[in-house]
Copies of this chain bind each other. A is one copy, B any other.
Amino acid sequence: MSDDVFAADGRIIGSRALVTRRKLLDATAKLLQEQGILDLRVVDISRDVGSSPATFYQYFNDVDEAILELAKEATDDEKPLVALLQPGWNALDGLERAGQFVDAYMVYWDTHHAVLRARNLKAEEGNRHFRAVRTEANLLVMDALQAMVTEGVAAKRLPESLDPFTTAAAVVAMCERLLAFQPEMARRGANRDAIRSTLATLIYGALTGH
């Protein structure tokens, strides 16, 4: 396994090109944030770094490929979240631990929301590369969640009607959706604290049965 970075045509690129590629990625992230994925044109990205569209195509076959790269980078920041999901939550500390997880998830989402939304959008559209990245990211957290549910079911704290994998998926679904909807929720009176405490309570309930 090497750290070499490849151009769109497969050749290994040098340090000058690496800088150009990085600039293009940063511009992509910036414009994704500013004007959304719908109006993200290769022309604009190129203009933003002061080069021609053809340069962009030296490094990426299309805009999706650049966004995919950003999505992979975002996944790295999700890994620490897993540490907050160790089995053994109890009636005393469980709710607090759930709250800590939600807090960390919120920070993660805040940092990467533009890229994560784009990733989910493309995955939803059926793009298999984005599906793979999303699944990989979700499984990070879901594996840990699943283990907690399995333990809860084994200890008879949770009903057998809960499928551990599906429950884990449901928890991730709640987290992602509520955070993605945050602005709309706020407009209807559910502020960040309400989302935080509700999410923590629901997760605590789903994972421990308390």
- A residues contacting B by CB (< 8 A) are 36-38, 95, 117, 120-121, 124-126, 131, 135, 159, 161-163, 165-167, 169-170, 173-174, 176-178, 180-181, 184-185, 188-190, 194-195, 197-202, 205-206
Expressed in whole angstroms, the minimum distance between the Cβ of A142 and any Cβ of chain B is: 9
Residues of chain B contacted by A38 (CB below 8 angstroms): 125-126
Flag if B198 contacts A161 (CB, 8 Å). Answer: yes
Which listed residue, B124, B188, B190, B199, touches A120 by the CB 8 Å rule? B124
Can you list 12 A-B contacts with CB-CB less than 8 angstroms, sorted by A residue number? Answer: A121-B125, A124-B124, A161-B200, A162-B197, A163-B195, A165-B190, A166-B198, A170-B174, A170-B177, A173-B178, A177-B177, A205-B206
Flag if A181 contacts B169 (CB, 8 Å). Answer: yes
Number of copies: 2
Expressed in whole angstroms, the minimum distance between the Cβ of A187 and any Cβ of chain B is: 10
Flag if A194 contacts B163 (CB, 8 Å). Answer: yes
**Cα A49 to Cα B126 with chains together (Å):** 26
Flag if A169 contacts B185 (CB, 8 Å). Answer: yes
**Cα A24 to Cα B205 with chains together (Å):** 48
Closest to A191 in B: B163
Which listed residue, B135, B162, B177, B201, touches A162 by the CB 8 Å rule? B201
5 extra A-B contacts, CB within 8 A, seeds A159-B201, A173-B174, A173-B177: A37-B125, A95-B161, A169-B185, A170-B199, A173-B178
**Cα A205 to Cα B149 with chains together (Å):** 15
